[in-house]
Amino acid sequence: MKSFGQRLDAVFDSVGQLCVGIDPHSYLLSEWGLPDSAAGVRQFGLAVIEAVAGRAGIVKPQVAFFERHGSAGYRALEEVLAAARQAGIMVIADVKRGDLGTSVEAYGQAWLTPGSPLEADAMTMVAYQGTGSIEAPLALAEVNGKGVFVLAATSNPEGVELQQAVRADGRTVAASIVDDVVGWNATHAGESTGSIGVVLGATVDFGDYGIDLASIARTPVLAPGFGHQGAGYSQLSEIYGASAPYAIVSASRSILTAGPSGIANAVAVQAREVLECRG
């Protein structure tokens, strides 16, 4: 069985680093002429999968927009996940789950177990209760060839004070999470691309967090903050330095606002743009 890191390498080499968000906001559903319902988010999600197939390699559904419609929304998401698997598209479930013990393990089982109704290739997690609290899903990811992306330095201004807070050991909250993940990968993946990644926003000055990008290479980086949120694809190397080849370049609004008739072209154009920046 290939690890998530190895599968990520293969996707990057074949179709590149673009990751297309599946964010069925109510206003986007309306722009797309779809109802604000479970049926609407299902159609939206399936249309994005169809547009991405053969043009890019990774999607990132924002699960909040499915959860908003309760069990019917989750049923819709299950169909979208199945369609992605069918099309050979890698899925990062953007769920930002976090908890302790058997609870956080249950979240891992929900998203990272082969054959689970909500099976994805990777999920996002938050470690407010410490990275030690999420070790069960990290271990589960390794066993199942799946991945986890832990929030470290996000791209929103409200998060700066917490994420730059200094721990007793002198490291910032964000840097210690990055260290923990890099350490995990060193143990589990050795010299290969790791299966556990970090979320590092593209509009963040990493020096302010004491994060040294030169030391985290081979740890995948989920990189929101492109397109609508500010950063341009051409800045990929400038922003992520040594981590640029391991960055999953995530774009949502700049692609989704192309609408049902324009999205396939928007994906193709932006995937090529990102591929060209790979150098």
Which residues are known to be catalytic? 96
Question: Nearest 5 degrees, angle CA 98-CA 4-CA 189?
Answer: 95
Using CB under 8 A, pick the residue from 78, 145, 217, 257 that binds a copy of itself. 78
Minimum distance from CB of 10 to a copy of itself (Å)? 28
Residues 6+ apart with CB under 8 A from 90: 7, 8, 11, 57, 58, 59, 84, 121, 122
Nearer to a copy of itself, 38 or 51 (CB): 38
Minimum distance from CB of 134 to a copy of itself (Å)? 9
Q: Which residues ranging from 54 to 73 are in contact with a copy of itself (CB under 8 A)?
A: 62, 64-65, 67-72
Indicate the Cα dihedral angle 157, 27, 111, 184, nearest 10°: -20
Q: Which stretch binds a copy of itself (CB under 8 A): 45-53, 168-176, 212-220, 240-248?
A: 168-176
Minimum distance from CB of 15 to a copy of itself (Å)? 26
Q: Which residues ranging from 133 to 162 are in contact with a copy of itself (CB under 8 A)?
A: 133, 151, 154, 156-162
CA distances 271 to 53, 103, 220, 244, Å, are 12, 37, 18, 15
Minimum distance from CB of 263 to a copy of itself (Å)? 19
| Binding flag, residue 85, a copy of itself (CB under 8 A) | no
CA distances 228 to 59, 251, 272, Å, are 17, 8, 18
| Binding flag, residue 102, a copy of itself (CB under 8 A) | yes
CA distances 76 to 38, 83, 250, Å, are 6, 11, 22
CA distance 137 to 117: 17
CA distance 92 to 86: 15
Binding site residues, a copy of itself, CB under 8 A: 23, 25, 62, 64-65, 67-72, 74-75, 77-78, 94, 96-100, 102-104, 106-107, 109-110, 116-118, 126-133, 151, 154, 156-169, 172-173, 176
